[in-house]
Amino acid sequence: MDRRSFLKAALRGSAALILAEGIGDILRPASIHASPKPLRWVFLVDTYKCIGCGFCVKACKIENEVPFEANVSRTWVERYILTKDGAVFADTPQEARNGFTSRLIDLGEGRVKDIPQEKIDKAFFVPKLCNQCEKPPCVQVCPVGATYKTAEGVTLVDRKWCIGCGYCIMACPYGMRFFHPLLHVAEKCTFCYHRIQKELKPACVQACPAGARRIGNIKDPQDPVTQIIMTQRVSIHKPEYGTNPQVYFIGLSEEVR
Amino acid sequence: MVLEEIWTTKELFVYPNEYIYWSIQIVMYPFMTGLVAGAFVLSSLYHLFGIKPLKEIARFSLVFSFALLMVAPLPLLFHLMQPARNFYVVLTPHFTSAIAAFGVVLFIYASIVASELWFLYRQHLVESSLRLKNQLNLSLAGKIQLWTYTILTLGASDLSERALRLDEKAIKILAGAGVPVACFLHGYAGFIFGSVKANALWMTPLMPVIFIMSAVVSGVALCMLTYIVTMEIRRVIARRKRGSVLYPTVEQIRGVEMHEMRITARYLIFFLIFSISLELLDLVFRGYTAVKSWDILRNVIYGKDFVNIFVLQYILGNLVPFILLLIPRITIPRTLLALILVLFGVFMMRWNVVIGGQSFSLTFAGYMHYHLPLIPQDWETFKEGLFGALFIGVMPFVLFWALNKIFPVFDLQRSP
């Protein structure tokens, strides 16, 4: 092959490659399914409204088929009790799947503590769920790419591809992940992705009788949740980990772990 | 219902999904890769830097390193919730993950060790196959042996001076390339832990270096230990075969053994000092800077895990063997005791990192306690329990014994 024909062939080859790349781009499923309006799911938790009934946990477990009696959950509710002498007590008995029905604080290992009413300074509930981080460490550490962030910002797990190494569980600073007791793969809150795709509310949002949990689209300025996040004072959980969480809290005090 | 509930108990405020997910097999994993890396570094000391007194133990360590290498991925496999999907790591490696490159690194390293082993034993393989070929009336076992040797020579039967010189050169190059890869293999195991920003105890850039140093310590110690044990067995055999011209005498064996041990012990002490200094630096730094997580870490280090960290790891596993090795007029039994303690110390270091790192909650307001399953009730409690760990621990010795049939580590007439 002389130089001229070699150059010709190379030119044709690279033109074909560029063209193929372009076609591949057009044919990508993501580009076909791309939603017409910008969408980024966020969550708003108003801790002032939470009454600790645990309906959210119950609804979540049933909706997402996490065995009800198993001591793991995609979402849970924490109770904080601050006493007059400055002590902080916190618990989440059985993820609060049956609500907070006892005054006794769960200290683990079967021990409980009764704090007399008059010694309590303040007490409140904090619902927790996956923060659907903008920079999710769980996605970063997955060795096989079985967990990924969708275009709408929700992090999902591919149950057919997860090898169950547990690295994502170790990497999450919020303790959101666990192994599904029956499927033996990583499990996490998805904002009920299967529901929100159909314009339904997540199970926990639907079940909350007090309106403490709300979901919204941060890219839509007309969205009521977006308007609250933009105009009121909200905070995020553990910003020091640099994960950029997308669950916003109202009334998240510094005692909250 | 939750598997991890078998060995985890919780104290005070712990998030509901928190358990000790990484248990005994993940303690075994860095322990085993550490031994692989350490054994290889020891063998390279001779092949690369030409430290002549280590010739005997260098060959030994290389074969042993290969046996350990085959076991190193087993703890990870045992640990996976979906062990049948293990090869997905090679199919779709997600390279932002520290675990993703494991398959690649292990494969590169295995190829280096295997080729070095081949060059080292090529002459022996060729000679053995020629010897068997010339024998008449071969038994079935003999035929299998002949086949094995012939296949292993890969058709390279040239035994001229020039070819043998090339073998030696190849060994040197491979030993040179192997050291950084061995360090990478294990430093990388350290990175898997050190890069977890959610874990206050693990997250330190020192972790890979600490892992490499303790790896060399444990690898050297295990090679010395196994070397002493096999030499003692040979001494017993020699005593029985007294008078045979072919077999070395008891005194010869003892002489070689003491000589090799004295030199290797010096390297062991050197790496031990390095390793302890780094670990103490990490501890002092954490206490001095005392960031938010220090409150709970202090409770774990000086309280809950005090016996594990200070008594078992630092005193029994580091200080005592250090003194034992430094006292003059060293004897074989004393060396043996020191080596067992060093290995135990490194194992406790892995334990304290892996289990210790999960013994406090992400809330910084609660603790988790690990209870190693002792008696296996089912498959899960076997592989995540004492017997699963023992199985992993014994495997390299079984493999070493099998490898020794093809690659004899002692009594080679001539070898590079």
Chain mean pLDDT for chain A: 93
- pLDDT recorded at residue A65: 96
Of the candidates A76, A128, A141, which has its C-beta nearest B98's C-beta?
A: A141
At residue A228, the pLDDT reads 97
CB B228 within 8 A of CB B208: no
pTM of the model: 0.90
Q: Please list the residues that pair with A42 across neighbouring strands.
A: A216
Beta strand A41-46 pairing with A247-250? parallel
Residue B401 domain-assigned (yes or no): yes
- In this prediction, residue A25 carries a pLDDT of 61
Q: In degrees to the nearest 10, what's the CA dihedral of B87, B92, B98, B102? A: 40
Contact state of B198 with A169 under an 8 Å Cβ cutoff: no
Please indicate, yes or no, if residue B223 is contained in any of the structural domains.
Answer: no
Q: How many residues does chain A have?
A: 257
Report the residue count for chain B: 416
Identify the domain containing residue B88 by its residue range.
Answer: 35-195+382-416
Shortest CA distance to B358 belongs to which of B196, B214, B212, B185?
A: B196
- How many domains is chain B built from? 1
Structural domain contains residue B155: yes
Of A76, A54, A50, A74, the closest CA to residue A64 belongs to: A74
Residue B408 lies in a domain: yes
Condensed to tens digits (0 to 9), the pLDDT of residues B156-177 reads 888 899 999 999 999 999 999 9
End-to-end CA distance of chain A: 71
- Interface confidence, given as ipTM, is 0.90
Q: What letter does residue A163 receive in the DSSP assignment? A: -
Quote the pLDDT of residue A221: 95
- Judged by phi (left if over 0) then psi (alpha if -120 to 50, else beta), residue B221 lies in alpha
Grouping H, G, I as helix, E, B as strand and the rest as coil, residue B190 is helix
Determine, for residues B363 and A90 on separate chains, whether the beta-carbon distance falls below 8 Å. Answer: yes
In angstroms, what CA-CA distances link A222 with A206, A216, A225, A229? 21, 10, 9, 12
**Would an 8 Å CB–CB cutoff place A105 in contact with chain B?**
no
DSSP state of A159: T
- CB within 8 Å: B82 and A163: yes
pLDDT tens for the 257 residues of chain A, in order: 788 888 888 888 888 777 777 666 666 655 555 556 899 999 999 999 999 999 999 999 999 999 999 999 999 999 999 999 999 999 999 999 999 999 999 998 889 999 999 999 999 999 999 999 999 999 999 999 999 999 999 999 999 999 999 999 999 999 999 999 999 999 999 999 999 999 999 999 999 999 999 999 999 999 999 999 999 999 999 999 999 999 999 999 999 99
CB contacts of A162 in chain B (<8 Å) are: 81-82, 85
| Backbone phi, psi, residue B139, to 5° | -75, 175
Return the bridge partners of A85, or none: none
Q: What was the pLDDT predicted at A19?
A: 75
Please identify every stretch of chain B with a pLDDT value under 50, giving residue numbers as ranges. none
- Pick from B263, B270, B269, B175: nearest CA to B227: B263
Q: How far apart are CA B261 and CA B56, in angstroms?
A: 11
Report the DSSP pairing between strands A178-179 and A186-187.
antiparallel
- Distance between CA atoms of B78 and B93, rounded to whole angstroms? 20
Contact assignment for A165 to B76 by CB distance below 8 Å: yes
Whole-Å CA distances, A101 to A21, A62, A122, B365: 60, 20, 18, 23
**In this structure, are residues B288 and B66 in contact, taking their beta carbons and an 8 Å threshold?**
no
Per-residue confidence (pLDDT) for residue A141, from 0 to 100: 97
Residue of B79, B93, B199 with shortest CB distance to A143: B93
Task: Give A84-116 pLDDT, tens digit per residue.
Answer: 999 999 999 999 999 999 999 999 888 999 999
Q: Is the dihedral of CA A38, A40, A41, A47 positive or negative?
A: negative
CA-to-CA distance for A115 and A179, rounded, in angstroms? 34
A163:B80 CB<8 A? yes
| B261 within domain boundaries | no
Q: What share of chain A is helix, strand, coil (3-state, %, to 5)?
A: 30, 20, 50
Angle between helix axes B55-71 and B386-406 (nearest 10 degrees) is 130
The predicted structure's pLDDT at residue B319: 95
pLDDT at residue number B55? 81
Q: How far apart are CA B41 and CA B345, in angstroms?
A: 20
Paired tokens of A38: 């910008």
Whether B215 maps to a domain, the answer reads no
Contact A219, A40 (CB under 8 A): yes
Decide if A177 contacts A186 (C-beta within 8 A): yes
B195-230 as b/e, with b when 16 or more CB fall inside 10 Å? bbbbbbbbebeebbbbbbbbbbbbbbbbbbbbbbeb
Phi-psi region of B414 (alpha: psi -120 to 50; beta: other; left: phi over 0): beta
Q: Which amino acid is at A185?
A: V
* Nearest in space to A63 (alpha carbons), one of A199, A206, A161: A206
Residues of A in contact with B81 (CB under 8 A): 162-166, 179, 184-185
Residue in B22, B89, B91 nearest the CB of A170: B22
Chain B residue with minimum CA distance to A94: B16
What distance lies between CA B72 and its chain's CA centroid?
Answer: 8
Provide the token pair at A251.
């009334």
Q: What is the rounded distance in angstroms from the CA atom of residue B416 to the CA atom of residue B414? A: 7
Residue B278 lies in a domain: no
Q: Count chain A–chain B contacts defined by CB atoms under 8 A.
A: 148
